[in-house]
Structure 1
């Protein structure tokens, strides 16, 4: 659950960053004294660069999510093994106590 909160927080930050960059870049291009054709080319270049950055960030975020899932899976398996060992030790101790009481009765 904590990993989910972290993942959604990172995703929100990335989206806010990307949106801010896109809006800021677009406003800067529109406010600059250039011809319409030059402005369109610059906007196209900016969109292409932003698309590439989004793709890279998405791949990185996916890799981080996969790593977090794997860490969680490993931790879960480790805890499962610990609980199983504790249950087995409890059963063994209970059987030993029963054997002691059966001998003394």
Structure 2
């Protein structure tokens, strides 16, 4: 579970870095000596690029969540089988003890 926390922390840091880069890039474009049309075009390109990166990060995060859910499901099934086997072993032991007790009385 701590590994999940670390990977989500890294994703948060990466997202903050990308957002900071986008804001910084946008401010740099606004401060640069260019025509308004050229600046708007570059801002549009930057926004599109940032949107694509965020989309990729979202897909990657979804894949990690799906993987974690599947791993949790598998672990739950394993534990369920272990509990089931323990209950069956307990029932069998109880029946054997009842049989021994019935024979001795």
Give 1:43 deviation, angstroms: 0.4
Paired residues, number: 105
CA deviation vs aligned residue, 1:28-80 (integer Å, no higher than 9, x gap): 21222222111111100000111111111111111111111111111111110
Cα RMSD over matched residues?
Answer: 2.1
- Gapped runs of 5+ residues in structure 2? none
| Residue 63 (str. 1) matches residue 63 (str. 2) | yes
- Gapped runs of 5+ residues in structure 1? none
TM-score (structure 1 length as normaliser) = 0.84
Q: 1:3 to 1:74 in 2, by over 3 A?
A: farther
* Structure 2 match to 1:79: 79
* Structure 2 match to 1:44: 44
Taking the TM superposition and a 5 Å limit, the aligned residue runs for 1:1-105 are 5=5, 9=9, 12-105=12-105
